[in-house]
Structure 1
Amino acid sequence: MTAIDTNPSPREATTETIRAEYGLSVPDTAEAIVGNAHAILPVIAEEADEIERLARLSPRAERVMRAAGVFEMGFPAHRGGVEATLAQQVEVTALIAAVDASAGWNVGVLNAGGYYAGRLGDEAYAELYPTRDMPTSGAFHPRGRAERVDGGYLVTGEWNWGSGSYTAEHIVGGAEVFENGEPVTGAHGKQMHLGLWLPRPSIEVSHNWQTLGVRGSGSTSYSITEPAFVPAGHAFDREALDNGDADPLNKSVHVSHFALTGVVLGVARHAVQLAGDFVRARLGSADAAKIDAATRQALGEAMGEVDFAYAGVREVARLTDEVLWTPGLALTPVQRTRMTAANAVAANALRRSMNLCMEIASASYILDVNPIQRVLRDGMSALAHAGTRRTHLGTYAAAALNNPQNGYTIPDDVSNDGGARVRESR
């Protein structure tokens, strides 16, 4: 294990120069960042092989992505951030993931840094974020230990799944809080769980990210073995209660990783694109009727999986955004678990579409020269993430059973406008 580089992001050119070279806008609005995301897709495609080889973002990809502002969508408006909607965040993540899953994964994870930063007090924010171009990664499992002392915490721990930590300027680690060796109880009645900005010189990185796919996420483990002091202001409650009066993106701690749903969508889209290209190459200039019916059906099913997964996630994002951007309104348990379940539903679509694409590509998908192989490896690896687990659907069902006034489906949920319209029409 070695100490993580305290300056992981050498800037070979000024941000202004990079933006001029690639035709990027200043990322001072969410719309500008969405436009920039489209503009950098050719760079992501060119850098995809190098990203996979390095098992992290390549220097060029990192510079261009930072200049585009794609890691800044989660910063709150009161800190000067663009405060992008969930719909915009998942769209940008999916757009980039459809070119390279690893690059998209970095977008989905590093954007959560803006959410974390939004929970800091004024003094700590000014100290840690002199600019919003400060990508921040975070890992919360397994949880470390934070012993409460005068002015802060002494922190130790070993954290896995540290996606984006090679690119990050700041690294956050989750830890359970103790005082005088005894657990400290948090707002939920369970042991307090904090996210803490870890001191960079104390972090040791394991360089253990050798994987089947999504290699460029750089999700290495890291640790702090000797207790390191973290000021009390450099921490936030990872399991804070929902608050309808908070900034939109900080009304619920569960919102911060919704953008990762875009990785699943993007990979599924990429697989279908390659499968369609494979069929078109076989077809040549002939009519589609020349392709056997089974192949046409498999492609159509895969296309349908992706289209309807995109449509469903977009609608859940829209409905969630309506609540988040309505002052004083908090997510209901059904709305919150529906938002979380969106990733699991998209993951089911990815599983089905990958199987169909393998059927279409036949034995050729195992070949290194076939680009669909990497996409399938990326898809399998994305499906290993906790957010894709079907257990989230069970939690969604439990919320509906415990809150019958919300119904079981969006058309029956009177807490959103869709439900209201449907009920009025009865």
Structure 2
Amino acid sequence: MTKADSRAALDGAAIRAKAGEIGPLLRESASEVEAARRLTAPVVDALRSTGVFRMTMPEAWGGPELDICTQIEIIETLSRADASVGWCAMIGSDSGYYSGFLDDATARSLYPELDAVTAGWVVPAGTLEVCDGGYRLSGRWSFGSGSTHADVILGGARVTEKGSPRTSADGVPEQRIAMLPAAQWQVLDTWNPGGLAGSGSHDYTITDAFVPVENTWVYGQNHRSGTLYAWRGMFVVNIVGVPLGVALEACDVATGILAGKVSMPEMIPARDEPRVRAGIARARAMVGAARSYAYDTAATLWATLEAGDEPSFELRAQLAGCFVHTVTTCRSAVQLLVDTVGTAAIQKSCPLERQLRDLNTLVQHILGQTRVWEWAGGLYFGAEPPLPAL
């Protein structure tokens, strides 16, 4: 066991408390992180110290194997300080899920420490050419959030043999996900958005790299038992913590600004204006309602899996709808707050300005897009969506 893993065990309460303790550092570093378009080294070190990256590591390895609602709370806490930090924590903590798709010996070799960070995406943007003992991997992937500080990077790929796609007996093209140490990949400087700028979601590439067969897996084939690993889409559920944390912080920021603002030209305290009071109340209700629905849905999913049952189509529909509802509602609430605060909210020195940009970017994620409403509706009628995680 490494020195890092010999520390006193970090449970959910301890990780949540530590996430709150580094809040001042994260707020102070937010502008620097945004300008760097990646998490800075002090911020990454602070995150590692909280134990957030080990949230999904199995108890058999000494990890906390946290329930999904506790994970959401921790991501929410970090996202209140900086959305990019919360996003990278959410992505980087997938190590426990992804390592479970490998046999234990291979996984332990790839993840010698519990706080190892994983980046990458399962989209089949590359090719795995069959060779002796494994494959040769080449390709380029987008949206490698946290890739600049990752320890392990993965990429989905189509399997080819002698240059031709390999198919199953029923003619379906074979796809696998490959995992290798981050040092074997090249991160390209491509990420320069308006929001979530500090997430370092650059493109990444690899060319003709050998991948042992044991370092690849097929989506959904988990080697681990336990509630946390029982549902193939569990790794995306804690995404709701990011918009919730951002919107909750925005509510507090807006209230603080308006408490000391004098409205022009009436020269009256803004807090006494009916439109201001209504705006604050509506925004807080929107965020509170979205938060309740998100936690209720996640808790229902967890209870279903704890009972040994498969999520029903109705529960999966609720979950899919919950994703897009949470993201879009939080964005709408923060837009309302910006409109209520007025010109003070458009200054770059005001956290609301960045919070709205962050949520505008987050809405473009596949789980925040309006087509997810259609997929959720289809699930209510028993139709499988094109996204396997739902």
Q: Which residue of 1 aligns with 2:217?
A: 236
Counterparts of residues 24-423 of structure 1 (less than 5 Å): 26-141=8-123, 143-185=125-167, 190-224=172-206, 226-238=207-219, 240=220, 246-282=225-261, 291-326=272-307, 328-402=308-382
In structure 2, what residue type is equivalent to 1:401?
Answer: F
Q: Is the 8 A contact 2:270 2:276 kept in 1?
A: no
Structure 1 position 99, deviation (Å): 1.1
Structure 1 position 300, deviation (Å): 0.7
SS of the aligned residue for 1:266 comes to: helix
* 92-101 or 32-41: bigger deviation: 32-41
SS of the aligned residue for 1:198 comes to: strand
* 332-341 or 317-326: bigger deviation: 332-341
- CA shift in 2, pair 1:322/1:364, >3 Å: same
Deviations 1:136-166 (A, max 9, x none): 1122346211122222111111010000111
Between the aligned partners of 2:289 and 2:256, the Cα distance in structure 1 is: 21
Between the aligned partners of 1:268 and 1:388, the Cα distance in structure 2 is: 15
In structure 2, what residue type is equivalent to 1:257?
Answer: V
Q: Is the 8 A contact 2:148 2:187 kept in 1?
A: no
Deviations 1:240-290 (A, max 9, x none): 2799x9432222321112112111111111222221112111269x99896
Q: Is the 8 A contact 1:196 1:236 kept in 2?
A: yes
- CA shift in 2, pair 1:201/1:32, >3 Å: closer
Between the aligned partners of 2:121 and 2:341, the Cα distance in structure 1 is: 37
Deviations 1:176-204 (A, max 9, x none): 22233343346997433322113545422
In structure 2, what residue type is equivalent to 1:324?
Answer: L
Runs of 4+, deviation exceeding 6 Å: 186-189, 286-289
Normalised by the length of structure 2, the TM-score is: 0.89
Between the aligned partners of 1:46 and 1:367, the Cα distance in structure 2 is: 17
Between the aligned partners of 1:200 and 1:112, the Cα distance in structure 2 is: 15
* 108-117 or 369-378: bigger deviation: 369-378
5+ residue gaps in structure 1?
1-13, 17-24, 404-426
- CA shift in 2, pair 1:187/1:302, >3 Å: farther
Normalised by the length of structure 1, the TM-score is: 0.82
Q: Which residue of 1 aligns with 2:387?
A: none
Structure 1 position 205, deviation (Å): 1.6
Between the aligned partners of 1:43 and 1:27, the Cα distance in structure 2 is: 24
- CA shift in 2, pair 1:204/1:132, >3 Å: same
In structure 2, what residue type is equivalent to 1:172?
Answer: L
Identity %: 28
SS of the aligned residue for 2:149 comes to: coil
Deviations 1:347-400 (A, max 9, x none): 121232022112112133222222211111111111111111122222222121
- CA shift in 2, pair 1:28/1:355, >3 Å: closer
In structure 2, what residue type is equivalent to 1:303?
Answer: R
SS of the aligned residue for 2:203 comes to: strand
Q: Is the 8 A contact 2:188 2:202 kept in 1?
A: yes
- CA shift in 2, pair 1:39/1:259, >3 Å: same
Deviations 1:321-363 (A, max 9, x none): 112233x322223323422332201012123202211211213
RMSD: 2.7
In structure 2, what residue type is equivalent to 1:64?
Answer: A
Q: Is the 8 A contact 1:350 1:379 kept in 2?
A: yes
SS of the aligned residue for 2:310 comes to: coil
- CA shift in 2, pair 1:335/1:149, >3 Å: farther
Q: Is the 8 A contact 2:121 2:154 kept in 1?
A: yes
In structure 1, what residue type is equivalent to 2:200?
Answer: G
Q: Is the 8 A contact 1:144 1:157 kept in 2?
A: yes
SS of the aligned residue for 1:257 comes to: helix
